Structure 1
Amino acid sequence: MNDHDKHIRVHIVDDDPADFLIIDELLLQSKRFQFEVNHISSISEARQELIDPQCDVFLLDYFLGPETARDLLIEARKVHCPAPIVVLTGVESGTLDDEVIQLGAADFLPKGDMTVSLLERTIRHAIQHKRAELELEQMVKRDPLTGLGNRLLFEEILEGSLARCKRAGTRLAVLFMDLDRFKEINDSLGHPTGDLLLLLIADRLRSVMRESDFVARIGGDEFTILIEDLHDAEDALNVARKIIQAVSQPSAIGGHELNVSASIGMALFPENGDAPIKLMQKADIALYEAKRKGLNSVQCFTSNLQTQLERHLNIEKGLRHALEHDHFELMLQPQWDLRDRRIAGFEALIRWRFGSELIAPSDFIPVAEKTGLIVPIGEWLLQTACRYLVKWRELGVSHYRISVNVSPLQLKTGHFVETLQSTLKSTAIAANLLEVEITEDSLLDGHEENPKVQQDLSRIRELGVKIAIDDFGTGYSSLRYLRQFPADVVKIDKSFVSGNGGEALAEPEICRAVVTMADSLGMDVVAEGIETISQLTRLRAMGCRMGQGYLVSEPLAFDEATQWALAGEAVSR
């Protein structure tokens, strides 16, 4: 034991001066340690010390006026007090020791049994045990790649910082940062290069932050920064700009010079909330807005974003109600042969009427994804599509497939394949009448984060269900990636077909490249968003055989889609 460990600072929390003097005298008799003793006579004073204790151990009397050690132990756990607490009592009880240990006390000592050696041993063990506990926590709460804290540690430190700020009347800021186009670097140069870049970014963040600030990596290319002792919002903005400047310096990694940019969202205490979850949620929303504005952007949480947050919460509440009361509608948009416009199948598209308002999928699907509600919504969509196929079979129509959009979250939950199997079995629907659509970007994310996604896609295909890659061309996939995925169909994103709103094809070269690539891999191609004869003609000339879009039909209600299915071609409307 070194000299530093022999000097121990003790806070004795006891409202009886006589008891304090007895314990103080015992500690002064110690030959092994030099105890520096401080007397705290009230529980309110002790509460102030819990947040940033200027001691190595607390000796806490169980009874403190109308309150007990129980109250302080609960408070200590809440603020993650780093100093151990040993509880003392003059009352004989067979249950008090179990109670205080369960609440986080390091030990329990009856006052009548105390001796110098017992106090020495108890205090030393309490401190050593607490150190080991904190070291283990640090290991669990550190990002293994960068050595920064992880989300769990960030939330704990933020909670303690908020307690200090509330006590002192000071301010703090929570910053959420992620790297722009990091996924593109990962895909093109590989994960080892991406990891080296993350290490470099972590070092740059450490270099520009003060010791009192805290940086964590909470996943992927997302970092959080806690800044204390702010005078105003401009201070936090200046720090954010300094971070952007440091991160955006050219990075030489693995023989490549990478130009990186970042986006930062920011929430302030007390203006934007007084709880960790609220501040982190609002910083995340501000980050989303910063990314929408462009590269190297910083965005504070504002009243407009508060309105968006309230809308988000209202949508979430409405979605739960819609699930319980079956308030969704499933529309069907025809997919047709570009040569004669005969129907080949339909894409199922969900719609939701929220009161008198028709909520666009682009508004409610992101909320459903973020809250996990996309899983039960996706199951409803699948089961409804299968019910449609059953009704068509009863009418003698059994040769048109319906494609359903599937979120990667549905695959990651691990139950989608089982749900699909049970639905096919209960409805006796032929598997080839169903097609699963998953977006290119989310397919790649799922492949990188969870190999089970690709395994489940293979299982889906083994059932006889086709798989389509939706929104193709909007992500950063390569031919090498596409060869790995068990896909049957590639859908050209409508932004490349009619994205500019003109008569002509928006991106003819991209469309031609997709058709050529799909043909080489033996995949079918469906062009989305065909709105003009000119677009249809160019796509046919390239060899694209299937399409969908407003040129032939917008999404149809089931009864109208049934008329199309019975006719086998576009029906006069």
Structure 2
Amino acid sequence: MIDHDKSIRVHVVDDDPADFLIIDELLGQSTRFRYEINHISDISEARQELIDPQCDVFLLDFFLGAKTARDLLVEARKLHCPAPIVVLTGVESGALDDEVIQLGAADFLPKSDITPSLLERTIRHAIQHKRAELELEKMVKRDPLTGLGNRLLFEEILESSLARCKRAGTKLAVLFMDLDRFKEINDSLGHPTGDLLLLLIADRLRAVIREADFIARIGGDEFTILIDDLHDAQDALSVARKIIHAVSQPSAIGGHELNVSASIGMALFPENGDAPIKLMQKADIALYEAKRKGLNKVQCFTSNLQTQLEKHLNIEKGLRYALEHNHFELMLQPQWNLSDRRIFGFEALIRWRFGSDLVSPSDFISVAEKTGLIVPIGEWLLLSACRYLKKWQELGVTQYRIAINVSPLQLKSGYFIETMQSALNSTGINPELLEVEITEDSLLDGHEENTKVQQDLMRIRELGVKIAIDDFGTGYSSLRYLRQFPADVVKIDKSFVSGNGGEALSEPEICRAVVTMADSLGMEVLAEGIETIPQLTRLRAMGCRLGQGYLVSEPLAFDEATQWALAGEAVSR
């Protein structure tokens, strides 16, 4: 409802003073509302007013010299202007009416039809509808747990704040923050405790920042903070340190005293960019650097990080080109029985052919994950592995399986299983010869997302495809998770086998625990990264029967792997 005791502030944007006087006179006849009317005759002044409107409604003439209302309507939508715009024109046109409404105008009035009651009713409805629209947007753009804004609202507010800063010549900072080791709290104490902690952190953030600043929760334990109207970078650093201090205070929740820390990455306008996407991207990169340095760290975006960003962008560009021109290759590393070193299968390992070099996945997979390119790359890997198995089948080789690594993003894409089924159908291979390797983190993500990954794995098993859990133990999760997921093989991560670079096992107790646990659940255990005879001997003594690693072979090209498959054992090279 509109408060009758308050004046309605109207900005009339019209380059004809006579038309402004007519509007002023019409509104002056109102007996229900009081109006404060301001005349704006210049389109550039009107454009500036859209950034931070000091009015309740705009009455905008369609023709403004060489310009039209289209320009301002587009600008208003871009800036998420909170004041409604009613377009007035001396030309009656149904097509024009439809156009300005589609561009975001609240209404369209031919000047010849305007009466005091019609104008007043139009203004009132425009204001009420805009308020309802903003309230609905507020509900959609809020985090349901904390009541903070979400990513969409943060980006909109950042865009408006940047426009104000550019006009006023001031600075702002974008902070990306996440909680260190929050996942451990969720896993050990449960999601209700984790949710209570997030509520407490949100309250602490509200208490630290100014009213003019803005906080959003953009996912899990990730928050973004907009620090507006800064004098210099030190002001932003001061706020970031206050946030770190506030978050790190002991938190008593559900009978537990939790000690939490946070990491913050920061990007500044205008030093680090002048667009929301650039500032958010750079703050995110700075956050990764802060986390790399330890706990309770604040990291500003620097020239060194700019170099990393440029490298990231070049890799992304190169990956897109490689996908378009089929510049990936699939290598196969043999998997073998520890007792006699006879092979039983292979793991498919992707390489990027860059000129005359083969680029290792460690140099590009993280970029592929961040950009979502891992989904089409993973699809290429799946189809290539199926084609390899098809070629072996034509040669009469049908006893060796190929394991492929699958990213959590592929499972979340929604069509991975359909792609797999299509590949199996088109090649006609035995599904039992294909094995899907997912990381331990994928299991935990699935558990947190209402067992979606668990359901997907069941569907994969129903196709006849085997499932292996890769990198097991690196996430330090409870072994009870394994009971909840269908798996055939558990792979001991190579960091526990040969991670210390010595002759002996790196972590024999962890290896033994995994073997014992998997045996009790009826799963096979495969040790990765076996490089020495002592490592192999110790693993065999523990009851581990399968392995892979440089002791027998590095990854092989398809033709060479085919020779191994035909021979059933290592082939001298």
TM, length-normalised to structure 1: 0.97
2:507 alignment counterpart: 507
Instruction: Give yes or no for the alignment of 1:410 onto 2:389.
Output: no
Distance 2:18 2:394 in 1: 91
* Amino acid paired to 1:25: E
Q: Distance in 2 between matches of 1:66 and 1:383?
A: 58
Q: CA deviation at 1:26?
A: 2.1
Partners of 2:505 and 2:126 lie apart in 1 by 74
Q: Are residue 421 (structure 1) and residue 421 (structure 2) matched?
A: yes
Gaps of 5+ in 1: none
The CA RMSD over aligned residues, in Å, is: 1.6
Deviates more, 1:232-241 or 1:88-97: 88-97
Matched AA of 1:41:
S
Superposition deviation, residue 447 in structure 1: 3.5
1:357 CA drift (Å):
4.0
Q: Does 1:331 align with 2:336?
A: no
Does residue 320 of structure 1 match 2:320? yes
Q: Which residue of 2 aligns with 1:83?
A: 83
Q: Which whole-Å CA distance do the structure 1 matches of 2:395 and 2:217 have between them?
A: 57
Q: Which moved more, 1:365-374 or 1:462-471?
A: 365-374
Q: Deviations for 1:165-199, whole angstroms, at most 9, x for unmatched residues?
A: 11111111111111111111111111111111111
**What amino acid sits opposite 2:336 in the alignment?**
W
**CA distance 1:3–1:343, change in 2 (3 Å):** closer
Deviation at 1:92, TM superposition (A): 3.1
Q: 2:507, 2:519 → 1: CA distance?
A: 19
Deviation per CA, 1:287-330: give whole Å up to 9, x if none: 11211111111111122222222222221221122122221111
Query: Once the 2 structures are TM-superposed, how far is the Cα of residue 449 of structure 1 from its aligned partner?
Result: 2.6
Corresponding residue for residue 250 of structure 2: 250
1:142-170 superposed Cα distances (whole Å, 9 cap, x missing partner)? 00000000111011101101110111111
Please state if 1:296 is matched with 2:316: no
- Residue in 1 that maps onto 2:446: 446
**Shift of residue 406 of structure 1?**
0.9
CA contact (8 A) 1:58 1:84 kept: yes
C-alpha contact 1:176 1:266 (8 A) present in aligned 2: yes
The reply to whether residue 140 of structure 1 matches residue 140 of structure 2 is yes
State how 1:159-558 maps to structure 2 within 5 Å.
159-449=159-449, 451-558=451-558
On the 8 A contact 2:2/2:124 being kept in 1, the answer is no
Residue by residue, what CA displacement relative to the aligned partner does 1:474-521 show, whole Å, maximum 9, x if unpaired? 114323321110001000111111111112211111111111111111
C-alpha deviation, 1:286, in angstroms? 1.3
Q: Which amino acid aligns with 1:472?
A: F
Letter in 2 for 1:484: Q
TM-score by length of 2: 0.97
Report deviation, 1:347. 0.7
Per-residue deviation at 1:452? Answer: 3.2
User: 1:29: how far off?
Assistant: 2.3
Offset at residue 394 of structure 1 (A): 3.1
SS of structure 2 residue aligned to 1:95: helix
Q: Amino acid of the residue matched to residue 297 of structure 1?
A: K
Q: Distance in 1 between matches of 2:474 and 2:239?
A: 34
- Contact 1:441–1:476 at 8 Å: present in 2 too? no
Distance in 1 between residues matched to 2:304 and 2:507, nearest whole Å: 35
Shift in Å at residue 3 of structure 1? 4.8
1:133 alignment partner AA: E
The structural deviation recorded for 1:572 is: 2.7
1:12 equivalent in structure 2: 12
CA positional deviation for 1:94? 3.4
SS of aligned partner of 1:487: coil
Q: Is the 8 A contact 2:227 2:236 kept in 1?
A: yes
Q: CA deviation at 1:450?
A: 5.8
Moved >6 Å (runs of 4+): none
Confirm whether residue 34 of structure 1 aligns to residue 27 of structure 2: no
Task: Specify the code of the residue in structure 1 equivalent to 2:435.
Answer: E
AA paired with 1:571? V
Q: Is the 8 A contact 2:4 2:32 kept in 1?
A: no
Percentage of identical aligned residues: 89
Measure how far apart 1:93 and its partner are. Answer: 3.0
Q: CA deviation at 1:2?
A: 6.9
- The alpha-carbon deviation at position 25 of structure 1 amounts to 2.0
Deviation at 1:5, TM superposition (A): 5.5
Displacement of 1:353 in angstroms is 2.0
CA distance in 1, matches of 2:390, 2:77: 57
8 Å CA contact 1:338–1:540 kept in 2: the answer is yes
1:41-81 C-alpha deviation (Å, 9 max, x unpaired): 11111111111111111111221111111111111111011
- Residues 418-450 of structure 1, C-alpha deviations (whole Å, 9 max, x = no match): 222222222221121111100001222133236
Give the residue type in structure 1 aligned to 2:139: M
Q: Find the aligned partners of 1:144 and 1:41 in 2 and give their Cα distance.
A: 43
**Segment of structure 1 superposing worse, 433-442 or 118-127:** 118-127
What are the Cα deviations for residues 65-117 of structure 1, in whole angstroms up to 9, with x where unaligned? 11111111111111011111111222333333222222111122222332222
